Amino acid sequence: MAFRMLKQTLLFDSNKYLIEGDRPILVDTGTGFKVEQAIAELKELLDGRELQTIVLTHRHFDHVGGAKAIADAFSAEVMMAPRDSQVVRDGDSEATLGTDFGGKIEPIEVTDLKEGQILSTGLHDMEVIYSPGHSAGSIALYDRKNRALISGDTVFVGGIGRYDTPSASLQELVSSLRKLSELEIEALYPGHGPAVDARGSEHIRNGLRMLGETI
């Protein structure tokens, strides 16, 4: 399996994953405060291939701040779920929490993703799964064949996403964790912190327990 995590340039940046294949996909872009380093690393990893698609797991600035610069550098299409896409499309630095990070975003052209849509790199088929809760338009990407999940900030290795920010919802987070718990997941690639290549479903079940839910 070829999910490459880009180097972390800032402590509070999101994880950035390059899903390998003939048509690589970048998942999340960090704040963009050191975007030149990310662009240089991507060019090295791509080794002459095109980056056609950037998927954003949700609206928050630590995941979307670098999207415009990276999209412009590679002429890539930016995609995310419709419940979060408009505030990114508008360049709304309040709704994306850009001001909380001391930054701002510019308006970005965004294509809406549909639930169940398959994004293929030629090596991995990634299924779009709506997983609101941490934000209204949070998504996960699921490689059913390899039982791998890119979870954004819905669930981490040993934790769950916050649900006390604008557009977040505890009720929706619980529903999303239950939805993800029905999948067969070995590898878990979260929006922050370490990834694991085995027993990923246990972290989702533990997330439900943290919220006082029965399994």
pLDDT digits (tens, 9 = 90+) for 56-91: 999 999 999 999 999 999 999 999 999 999 999 999
For residue 40, what are the domain limits? 13-210
Task: Check which CATH number belongs to the domain holding 73 and give it.
Answer: 3.60.15.10
Smallest CA-to-CA distance from 185 within 112, 131, 110 is with 131
Q: Average pLDDT over the chain, rounded to whole? A: 96
**Any domain includes 5:** no
**Any domain includes 3:** no
CB atoms near residue 189 (< 10 Å): 25
pLDDT surpassing 90 at residue 177: yes
Q: What value does the mean pLDDT take over residues 123-150?
A: 98
pLDDT digits (tens, 9 = 90+) for 18-44: 999 999 999 999 999 999 999 999 999
pLDDT surpassing 90 at residue 214: no
Longest dimension (CA), the chain: 49
Phi then psi dihedrals of residue 142, to 5 deg: -120, 125
- Can you give the pLDDT at residue 1? 60
CA–CA separation, 190 vs 116, rounded Å?
Answer: 19
Cα 70 to the chain's mean position, in Å? 15
CB 52 within 8 A of CB 23: yes
**Any domain includes 61:** yes
**Any domain includes 4:** no
pLDDT digits (tens, 9 = 90+) for 185-203: 999 999 999 999 999 999 9
